Amino acid sequence: MNKKINFILNSELIEIEINPSTVLLDFIRSLKFTGTKEGCKEGDCGACTVLAGELIEDEVIYRSVNSCLIPVMNISGKHVVTIEGLNQENKELNPIQQAFVDCGASQCGFCTPGFIVSLTGHFLNKGKSNHNSVIDSMDGNICRCTGHNSIIRAAEIVSEKKKKKNSSM
């Protein structure tokens, strides 16, 4: 039986009646947000990663999730951010995307949105960021063609820039 569900997808309020067990990935892609990719559909590749933001004690806390494993029901009342939602204001590349370009960290591009969303989730988090935590934030993401070295380098560049910015504040 269908249920009413409300949530925010990027900057848009979604109010729908839907089978609550519909997979979030399928729903997102049906709205033409096809930057979120369908890879394994078993939680193993990270191609479908999105951010899910939840209001906790007056603050929205974002974490990266595999949208292929989540029923739409579970994101009711949350803010879901796809790769399309990361830089829609000015259309310019954000620092993570720019680092991927500079390091040649994207080849066919299939895995790239997932990596960038996972890293965004990490850098949005107020917890301490260091080399290991940056690498750990991508441990659910797999790249089948570029290899992980250039991706790690791109992530390190963003991490170093963020550290410099924080220390100058």
AA letter at 94? N
Rule CB under 6 A: say whether 52 interacts with ligand FES. Answer: no
AA letter at 113? P
Rule CB under 6 A: say whether 43 interacts with ligand FES. Answer: yes
DSSP string, 38-87: -SSSSSSS-TTEEEEEEEETTEEEEEEEETTS-BGGGGTTSEEE-GGGSS
Helix (H, G, I), strand (E, B) or coil at 2: coil
Region binding ligand FES by CB under 6 A among candidate stretches 53-61, 75-83, 89-97, 103-111? 103-111
Considering only 26, 71, 110, 153, the residue that binds ligand FES (CB under 6 A) is: 110
Rule CB under 6 A: say whether 63 interacts with ligand FES. Answer: no
Rule CB under 6 A: say whether 108 interacts with ligand FES. Answer: yes
Interacting residues with ligand FES (CB under 6 A): 38-41, 43-48, 66, 68, 106-112, 143-146
